[in-house]
């Protein structure tokens, strides 16, 4: 029989997951609106105007999916599945960080047609996530290997790649940044496959 403390912890984790899911849904809706409608008039845009924001949209979707999936798995791993003692204050850190990350995803969706501006939001998102991952690793898995540490390493590598793309302007920067976002998610799922899809 489960204790009231375990039930309370599960309810807290579930509430955070639901809040994050709502903001993610809002970000997707905002992305579609940003891509298809003119900001001032609300008129539906033509193909030539829509395609400007397509690389940003693809990058957003490829980033959003592993972030949402990873957040849910992190909460389950650290607060539901973990048998060792858990520092409850860590849940507040996770809540604040995931709320900030969801806001950055929404900002990316809102700025889809701003050219490279939306990619800057994604870069800040990766930086925030990397810093949080390093702190989270020390809280939950000190002295061990963890998914959080792997996330930080992956993100830092792709932050460097993104900075280099911004530092040397060329014609197809948006397409290269989109490709980086896609590759980052592929690497994330490949390196952390045992975390995302744990064996039964």
pLDDT digits (tens, 9 = 90+) for 43-61: 666 666 667 788 999 999 9
> Higher model confidence: residue 30 or residue 182?
182
Report the distance separating Cα 29 and Cα 142, nearest Å: 39
> Does the pLDDT at position 177 exceed 60?
yes
Percent of the chain with pLDDT over 70: 86
Report the distance separating Cα 149 and Cα 23, nearest Å: 25
Nearest to 167 by CA among 114, 123, 105, 108: 123
Given its phi and psi angles, is residue 137 left (phi above 0), alpha (psi -120 to 50 degrees) or beta? alpha
pLDDT-based confidence at residue 74 (cuts at 50, 70, 90) = very high
Average pLDDT, the chain: 86
pLDDT-based confidence at residue 143 (cuts at 50, 70, 90) = confident
Report the distance separating Cα 78 and Cα 71, nearest Å: 11
Q: Answer yes or no: pTM beyond 0.85.
A: yes
* Residues in a beta bridge with 37: 44
């Amino acid at each position: 029989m489960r204790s009231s403390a375990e039930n309370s912890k599960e309810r807290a984790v579930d509430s955070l997951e639901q809040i994050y899911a709502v903001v993610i849904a809002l970000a997707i809706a905002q992305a579609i609106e940003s891509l298809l409608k003119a900001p001032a008039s609300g008129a539906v845009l033509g193909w030539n105007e829509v395609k400007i924001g397509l690389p940003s949209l693809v990058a957003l979707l490829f980033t959003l999916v592993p972030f949402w999936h990873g957040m849910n798995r992190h909460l389950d791993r650290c607060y539901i599945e973990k048998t060792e003692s858990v520092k409850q204050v860590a849940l507040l850190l996770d809540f604040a960080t995931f709320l900030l990350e969801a806001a950055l995803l929404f900002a990316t969706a809102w700025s889809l047609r701003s050219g490279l501006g939306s990619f800057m939001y994604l870069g800040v998102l990766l930086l925030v996530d990397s810093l949080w991952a390093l702190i989270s690793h020390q809280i939950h898995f000190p002295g061990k290997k963890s998914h959080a540490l792997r996330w930080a390493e992956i993100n830092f590598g792709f932050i460097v790649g993104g900075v280099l793309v911004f530092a040397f302007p060329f014609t197809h920067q948006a397409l290269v940044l989109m490709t980086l976002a896609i590759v980052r998610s592929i690497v994330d799922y490949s390196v952390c496959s045992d975390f995302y899809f744990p064996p039964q």
